[in-house]
């Protein structure tokens, strides 16, 4: 087979027929994209068999490697039984057992699961449930954070806080009240870094107090605002706000679509601060990055309220509880339970130590940070670390890394690595090394 021609045909047909998400259209039309043909473990392959380490876990979804034999088998076995049956008014064994698997690992106090098929819908469902909980109180606003990202459906856009993603669509939705994001490096309140966590929390708490009667809920991405620029929160911020929100009886929604299932170390980031939300949104890693599935997990109190009024939850999707996705999810959770993948995170993290040191010695780099197996740093135009690096430089680093065999996807001037949790120490070292070399090559001193 002539792969060169085949590849050209695929790319031409792609350009003629498709529109890609979050992809600059003119650039897509100009340059040839990488066409992925396969994967194994932490590696992706193109049509020529060239290997690329997956430095974004295929956009933060893959936990246990591509073609994980146990997840592969679970999906194949499920195919032998049935691919899909509705969850509206019917049930199936695997769907019931997955709910129990999830309830075994979420914070105590959460006892019910509602399935959907992506992170945005898990958030929509949480927003609707919170609204129903507070119905009658005439409270119709949500509070969220600047630079928050909760997905692209309209409810999620309303609570989103990234102007370049969300602003265009705000007229279609009801924009939430926004508290400052606790990003110590770019302190929005221009305070000293060592007091930043306290004062940012105070600003959010003040908003909660002033608007408590209006609020249907508060929605947060605990400890790590990923899409907003890999913003790592200072310890204590989450727990302080949570106590305040709960003291007013306002539903607390924690969106762990990006942080769930070990990304920050424990199963869920809220467990770092012993916080239990009223509603917890999970997605992405739930199926190990195999199939689209998400869940909104909530307390018995929420369930009782919904049962009383309206008595039926008017929300559902054709593929709610899809058995193939459920099988992938159950196999993923089994691996997380029965292998050392979570307990090995602290050891694997040590790979970041020499990487951090090397970066600290480079000019124009600042805000180096990490949590769990997430590592990020920012690039600037100058050594004062004041002007963020522009799109051209960031793209040149991305493409250089790609040609050396590493997939990354910077967020403005932030470069990050989010490897699959199952990444080997060797592959993680190679990711760090390739990234370091790409940054060095593209920012000569």
Ligand X SMILES: Cc1ncc(COP(=O)(O)O)c(C=O)c1O
Residue ranges in 169-266 assigned as alpha helix (H): 193-211, 237-247
CB 131 within 8 A of CB 140: yes
Torsion of CA 62, 184, 210, 127, to 10 degrees: -10
Q: Which of the ranges 250-258, 339-347, 359-367, 396-404 carries the binding residues for ligand X, by CB under 6 A?
A: 250-258
Sheet containing strand 406-407, edge to edge, reads 36-40, 43-46, 51-54, 406-407
First to last CA, the chain: 45
Nearer to ligand X, 180 or 222 (CB): 222
Nearer to ligand X (CB atom), residue 123 or residue 442: 123
Q: Determine the Cα–Cα distance for residues 407 and 424; give it in Å rounded to an integer.
A: 16
123 binds ligand X (CB under 6 A): yes
From 244, 255, 278, 335, residue interacting with ligand X (rule: CB under 6 A): 255
Answer for the pair 129, 162: CB distance below 8 angstroms, yes or no. Answer: no
Distance CA 28, CA 379 (A): 24
C-alpha dihedral (72, 285, 379, 181), degrees to nearest 10: 170
What minimum distance in Å lies between the beta carbon of 360 and ligand X?
A: 28
Indicate the pairing of strand 279-282 with strand 224-225: unpaired
Please state the closest distance from residue 145 (CB atom) to ligand X, in A: 11
Which residue of 116, 120, 139, 296 would you call a contact of ligand X, by CB under 6 A?
A: 120
State how far the Cα of 1 lies from the Cα of 218, in Å rounded to an integer. Answer: 56
User: In the complex with ligand X, which residue's Cβ is closer, 147 or 150?
Assistant: 150
| Minimum distance of ligand X from residue 296's CB (angstroms) | 11
Determine the 3-state secondary structure of 26 from DSSP: helix
The residue (of 101 and 221) whose beta carbon lies closer to ligand X is 221
Give me the least distance between CB of 144 and ligand X, in Å please. 11
Q: Between 322 and 443, name the residue whose CB sits nearer to ligand X.
A: 322
What residues numbered 192-221 form the site for ligand X, per CB under 6 A?
Answer: 221
Kindly state whether residue 87 participates in binding ligand X, applying the rule CB under 6 A.
Answer: no
CB of 133 to ligand X, least distance (A): 20
Contact with ligand X (CB under 6 A): which of 204, 257, 297, 327?
A: 257
Residue 126-155 contact track with ligand X, rule CB under 6 A, x = bound: -----------------------xxx----
Pick 156 or 401: Cβ nearer ligand X:
156
CB 252 within 8 A of CB 277: yes
Residues that bind ligand X (CB under 6 A): 118-120, 123, 149-151, 221, 226-227, 255, 257-258, 283
């Amino acid at each position: 087979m002539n792969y060169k021609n085949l590849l050209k045909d695929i790319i031409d047909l792609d350009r003629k027929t498709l529109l890609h998400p979050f992809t600059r259209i003119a650039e897509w039309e100009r340059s040839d994209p990488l066409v992925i043909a396969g994967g194994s473990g932490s590696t992706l392959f193109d049509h020529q068999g060239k290997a690329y380490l997956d430095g974004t876990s295929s956009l933060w979804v893959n936990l246990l490697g591509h073609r994980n034999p146990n997840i592969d088998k679970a999906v194949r076995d499920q195919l032998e039984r049935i691919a899909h049956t509705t969850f509206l008014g019917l049930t199936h064994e695997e769907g019931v057992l997955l709910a129990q698997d999830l309830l075994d690992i979420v914070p105590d106090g959460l006892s019910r699961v509602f399935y959907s098929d992506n992170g945005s819908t898990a958030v929509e469902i949480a927003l609707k449930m919170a609204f129903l909980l507070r119905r009658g109180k005439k409270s119709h606003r949500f509070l969220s954070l600047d630079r928050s990202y909760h997905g692209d459906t309209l409810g999620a856009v309303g609570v989103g806080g990234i102007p370049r993603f969300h602003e265009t669509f705000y007229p279609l939705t009801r924009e939430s009240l926004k508290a400052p994001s606790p990003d110590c490096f770019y302190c929005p309140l221009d305070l000293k870094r060592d007091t930043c966590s306290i004062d940012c929390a105070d600003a959010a708490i003040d908003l909660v107090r002033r608007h408590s009667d209006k609020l249907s809920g508060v929605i947060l991405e605990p400890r790590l605002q990923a899409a907003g620029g890999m913003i790592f929160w200072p310890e204590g911020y989450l727990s302080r706000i949570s106590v305040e929100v709960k003291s007013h009886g306002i539903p607390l929604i924690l969106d762990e679509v990006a942080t769930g299932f070990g990304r920050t170390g424990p199963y869920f980031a809220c467990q770092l601060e012993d916080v239990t939300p009223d509603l917890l949104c999970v997605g992405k890693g739930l199926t190990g990055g195999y199939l689209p599935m998400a869940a909104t997990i909530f307390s018995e109190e929420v369930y009782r309220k919904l049962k009383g009024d309206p008595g039926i939850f008017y929300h559902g999707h054709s593929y709610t509880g899809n058995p193939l996705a459920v099988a992938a999810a159950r196999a993923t959770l089994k691996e997380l339970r029965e292998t050392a993948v979570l307990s090995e995170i602290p050891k694997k993290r040590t790979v970041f130590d020499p990487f951090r040191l090397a970066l600290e010695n480079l000019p124009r780099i600042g805000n180096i940070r990490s949590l769990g197996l997430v590592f990020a740093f920012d690039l600037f135009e100058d050594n004062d670390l004041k002007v963020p690096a522009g799109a051209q430089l960031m793209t040149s680093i991305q493409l250089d890394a790609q040609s050396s065999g590493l997939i990354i996807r910077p967020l403005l001037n932030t470069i990050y690595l989010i490897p699959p949790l199952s990444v080997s120490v060797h592959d993680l070292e190679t990711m760090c090394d390739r990234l370091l070399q790409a940054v060095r090559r593209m920012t000569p001193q």
